[in-house]
Each structure stands twice: as C-alpha cells, then as structure tokens.
Amino acid sequence: MILKEHNPEGKHKKHAKLARPSTGNFGRNEWAIVGGPCTVIKLLADDIIAALSSSYKCAYADTAHNHDITQVPGRLASGAIVDYTDQVNYQQFNFQNPLMPYQLKQQFANADLVLVNGNHQQANAQVVIIDINKKASLQKRVEQLTNVQLFLLADYSDEPFDFIKEAIPNWQQITVYRLADRERIITFFETNLQQVRPVLNGLVLAGGQSLRMGFDKGNVNWHGKAQRYHMADMLKPFCNEVFISCRSGQQGEIDKQYPSLEDTFTGLGPFGAILSAFREKPDSAWLVIACDLPLMDEGTLRNLVAWRNSSSVATAYHSPVTDFPEPLIAIWEPKSYPVLLSYLAQGYSCPRKVLINTDITLLNPPEPEALTNVNTPDELEKIKRVIHQKTATS
C-alpha cells in the first residue's frame, strides 16, 4: 500500500496532512453527565440506553470506586496482558495496562452514543445535573463545562448555580428539564442523534483497468453519455457531493464538471477506493457504486437511501447471484472506516468480506437485475440487447 502526500510547494513534510474524524475522548457523539451522585448518573444512563438501544448502539464509560481492591482480576495477576472470557451472553476483556486514547477510540468506534460519568471522565458535550447536595463537587469541575447542552434540575433545585451562570455566559439559552422528566430527556438525546446523522456523499468507482473487457468500462455509452458520468448524475439527487473515483494518472481524463478522487491506497481495487474516499472525508457516509452497472435505476438507489441505517457499518443489497452482500452498490457509514483499516491490517482487502463479517443492514433489491455488472465483451453484448428491448418497450 502506498500513501501519497500532495505537496505542491515541494517542501519537506515530516507527516502527511490527513483529515481527522470528528471524535472526542471516546466517540463521535459523547456526553458527560456531571453534577449528581454517581448512582443517579448510572440510573439516568440506564434509562437513556434502554430507551434508545433498539435504534442506536449505545455505550457507557465510568471509573470504579473499588479502592479497597488491590489484586487484579483473573490471569492478569499472573502477568497476562489481556484476559478474555466468553461469558456466553456477553464478552469480557480485562487489560493489564491502561488503554491509550487511540485504543479507547477504537473500542468505542461502533457506538452511536457514548454516555460518560462526568464525575470521573470528560467528554465533548455535557449534561449538568443541578443538585444542591453536589454543589461543591460540581464547582470543582466548572472548567470542564465547555459545551453544556442540557441542565437537569434535581429535587429542591430551580435554576443553575451562580458560579455556572458566571462560567457560561449563554446559560439562559440552554435547555432545562427536571431530572425526573425521563421522557423529555430521552427525546432530547434521540433528537440530537437524528440531527448528527452523517452527510451522504456519492462515489462512482471508475478506476479499474477493465482487463477482462479490454477497454475502459467507464467510457461505455449505454445511456447517451459515458457510463461513469451517467452513474454520477444518478447519484446527485441522493447525495451532498458526488465524486468519480479514479486510479493514479487518470484524473486528467475526467471531465472537469465532475469532481474526482484519486486512489491514495493503491493496488487495492474498490477496497482502496473506499478507503481513499474516507481518507478525504472521514465524517461522511459514502454511497459507493460501481460504474459497470448499466441496468441500475433510480428506484433501486432511492430504496437503498430510504432504508439507510446509519447505526450499521453499512447498508447493502443482498445479491441473488452471489448470495452475499453486494459491496459495490452500498452505503458505507463513517464507522466503517476503522473497520476497513483493521481488515487491511490483517491482510484482507475484500469489501464483501467486511460486509459478511460485520454488523450491516441487508436489503433485498426491488429489481435484482439492477445489480447486474458487465465485465466481458460477451456480457456487454447481452446487456445491450436487454437495454434495447427495454427502450423499445417503453
């Protein structure tokens, strides 16, 4: 794998300039609940997770109070660095060494929502409980209140403390609920998760060498223009931006009216093209489509987007030909980026293998023939006849 760095000035750079995903200490959407007793925070987190877990993948982070425990658990006491136990209905990992920030983010990468006990851990956004019994404790943490988005009033509390008003100039614009009003609190989180759904971009895979076809499949004119442009135009109504993926040296062949993305993970085919797209825009979801799908139609794309599940790693169609998920007409969510990289690190570069072995939303195509791809001259002639017949009928 070759990672290219664009440096038009020709100056030496120690590190490549990479777009970094928008993550906090744990995940993309993390909230520290601070200001109440730890038991109250845990119970609130339990209620939120129980209400949202059917639609979103939720996680929780805390610090234990077991100050009296000096013996580490399991085989860690004997010197093991990791102790894994399959507990049948859940999996348990114990680590000997502290997890570094990068490792923590990997553990929480699949979570849509991370709730954090703010009495012990910090997060990008905060929910502040106003509890007179924890006033002194909260005052010690006032500097951590950098992005307060919700106040929760405990019993006998009617408004935020004076030191909070001084520290947060816009405190009057922040939503305030009673701590007991669980339904409104849950709705608050649900609404926020809906609003931060990753934007959807389009990626037309047109960087293959078309060795079996003998000429560039992206240039075949099935529908009045080169197929790569036809596919890009089909994606535009469903995507924020649409890019044509191309191999090194191919960008000069692409019409300037169509933005292009050159593969920076070379020699990996579609797998590398998807990774290259995420490298460019890691916070976007990508509707990836191969350029050699001449029977693809608007209804099939609309159905895919309508049933998109941003909580899954990807949303894909089941291929009746292979009996497996079809990776080259699929929506890959931002959380798939670290998954793809982890597969590459283990020596795998097959996007279908990733879909088979991860949590995806699998759909049946409304028109199975729309998934038909063309790789050889014989298949091309066959599809020509099908398109001619469809045109004549319509």
What ranges in 69-128 are assigned the alpha helix state H?
Answer: 101-107
Nearest to 31 by CA among 139, 110, 145, 142: 145
Whole-Å CA distances, 168 to 55, 154, 172: 33, 19, 9
Q: Give the single-character DSSP code of 78.
A: G
Residue ranges of the chain with per-residue pLDDT less than 70: 1-13, 66-70, 207-217, 377, 381, 384-385, 387-394
The reply to whether CATH 3.40.50.300 applies to domain 30-63+76-195 is: yes
CATH topology identical between 30-63+76-195 and 200-393: no
> What is the spatial distance between Cα 364 and Cα 131, in angstroms, rounded to a whole number?
51
CB atoms within 10 A of CB 219: 15
Q: In the CATH hierarchy, which top-level class contains the domain 200-393?
A: alpha beta
In this prediction, residue 18 carries a pLDDT of 86
Extents of the domains making up the chain: 30-63+76-195, 200-393
pLDDT digits (tens, 9 = 90+) for 300-354: 999 999 999 999 999 999 999 899 999 999 999 999 999 999 999 999 999 999 9
> What is the spatial distance between Cα 24 and Cα 161, in angstroms, rounded to a whole number?
27
pLDDT digits (tens, 9 = 90+) for 220-260: 787 788 889 999 999 999 999 999 998 877 777 888 999 99
